[in-house]
Chain A
């Protein structure tokens, strides 16, 4: 079952923060986050494993609440380069890296 992402789209000014949510109706083993720019391949951001972990690098971080079957991606002090479509990919634990991707959240950062 495809995870649900929200919001579908968000427009920011450079320096503003954003949160993108990903929720699933099924139990999750891990959540992956990717960013895709128009016409390009998705680029890996991070993986979160069950256990309620949080991760982050630079000004992008994420959390995973396995009980709620939800993950959130936090973008702090957004930069122009953050623009793109963000996808969460969920893994139910039956086989490695077989992900089901959400519909995506289109993020636009304006100057």
Chain B
């Protein structure tokens, strides 16, 4: 199956600093990428939908100025957690799909996830 890679897989940072997480589709062009956060033993909560070359669409309650998403190419999307605080500590996962548009168009390929710990 298709491969999506996330980097870094884990990061520890001090409160107030910013952290960038990369999500790359290695063997296909990802027209749409999704960013989720997952707390221990909980579900994946969609944060935003990212389409190449356009602004990300954020879910209700997600601060767009705090979680900056850039999807500059068909193979790379980045999530930057700005001025991180301990409550931002979580498992962040990206997923990608190579098919544009319509519902039910295809499976999601998930990255390995990035575990962020803010001290």
Contact = CB atoms under 8 A, between A and B. Distances in A.
A87 B103 CA distance: 19
Contacts of A30: 103-104
A102 B43 CA distance: 6
Contacts of B42: 103-104
A106 B100 CA distance: 32
Nearest to B2: A44
Contact of A87 (B43, B99, B101): B43
A87 B109 contact: no
Given A32-B107, A41-B113, A97 B1 contact: no
B49 A40 contact: no
B34 interface: yes
Interface residues of B, number: 27
B114 to A, nearest CB: 10
A68 interface: no
A40 B112 contact: yes
Contacts, number: 77
Contacts of B44: 42, 87, 101
Given A2-B43, A42-B44, A47 B104 contact: yes
B77 to A, nearest CB: 14
Contact residues of A: prevailing secondary structure: loop
A29 B107 CA distance: 14
A5 to B, nearest CB: 9
Interface string B90-119: 000100010111111111111111000000
Interface string A19-49: 0000000000110101000011111100101
Interface string B25-40: 0000000101000000
Given A29-B103, A30-B103, A97-B106, A41 B93 contact: yes
